[in-house]
Amino acid sequence: MLNLSIECSGLYGSVALSDKHQVLGVQDLPRTTSSGQSLASAIQTLIAKHGYRPNLISVTCGPGSFTGLRVGLTVAKMLGWAWQIPIVPVDTLQVIAQQALETIPREQAVIVVPAINAFRKQLFTSAWQASEGQMLQLAPSQVVDAAIWMLSPLVAQPQAAKTCENTWEIWVAGPGLKRYPTAGKDGRWGAAIRQWPEMEPHARWVAQIGWQRYLQGFQVEAHELAANYVRASAAEESSRFDAQKSSPSM
């Protein structure tokens, strides 16, 4: 069961080809060009190298870069329709959380808070609990103000905060930390905070989560695939504001 995985939600994209849990090959997109220019050729190169056409596509559906997500989802839709194969949408923040859990040694249960820069002094974030090899989502993908988040990564996530105890560590990971790092200890809950700003989402982990979600029945057809932008783009918000201003008052 060959799974083609696509990650274009951030600055640097990647693709991977895997057979169930085994990664067969990875292709990082060049950093000198946009994903729109390089994604199709990277997929072609990866598939040609291994000589097999995929039976499944996994793709990050957001949150993340509006442009990058549109590129990745459009290519996934086109290939899914052309090959008549299912597609599994994968949460970008879960990919970051999974990477942190699998690449960093740990001895205790932790709460993982992935973060992506949403610009406008905001972050895309969620929260995950990791214990005994399992991941439980404590808070959905959402937008939070950067100033609040830097003080307490869980302050805008009540369900996750209920789970937090002083004996737990909070792990924060993802490219959002490059712009908005947190303190060494949570300002409200008192838990120690460890940070990994170098955790960029990668197709290798999109493949792993995509396969798990496929086994759980979360695949969709090409025409059903949709982005989870979490927040409207600046252009869309401006258009709505202009429309409200121009509409006659009741």
User: How far apart are alpha carbons 100 and 172 in whole angstroms?
Assistant: 9
Is the pLDDT assigned to residue 102 strictly greater than 60? Answer: yes
What's the pLDDT score for residue 121?
A: 95
- Give pLDDT tens digits for 122-154: 999 999 987 666 788 888 899 999 998 998 888
Is the pLDDT assigned to residue 246 strictly greater than 60? Answer: no
What's the pLDDT score for residue 249?
A: 54
**Helix intervals (H) in 59-196:** 66-83, 92-103, 146-151, 158-163
Average the pLDDT over 63-92 and give the result. 97
More confident residue, 138 or 57: 57
What's the pLDDT score for residue 142?
A: 92
Is the pLDDT assigned to residue 222 strictly greater than 50? Answer: yes
- Put simply, whether the predicted model's pTM sits higher than 0.75 gets the answer yes
Average the pLDDT over 167-173 and give the result. 80
CA atoms within 13 A on the CB side of 118: 26
**Residues 70, 77 contacting (CB under 8 angstroms):** no
User: How far apart are alpha carbons 17 and 6 in whole angstroms?
Assistant: 9
* Phi, psi dihedrals of residue 41, rounded to the nearest 5°: -70, -35
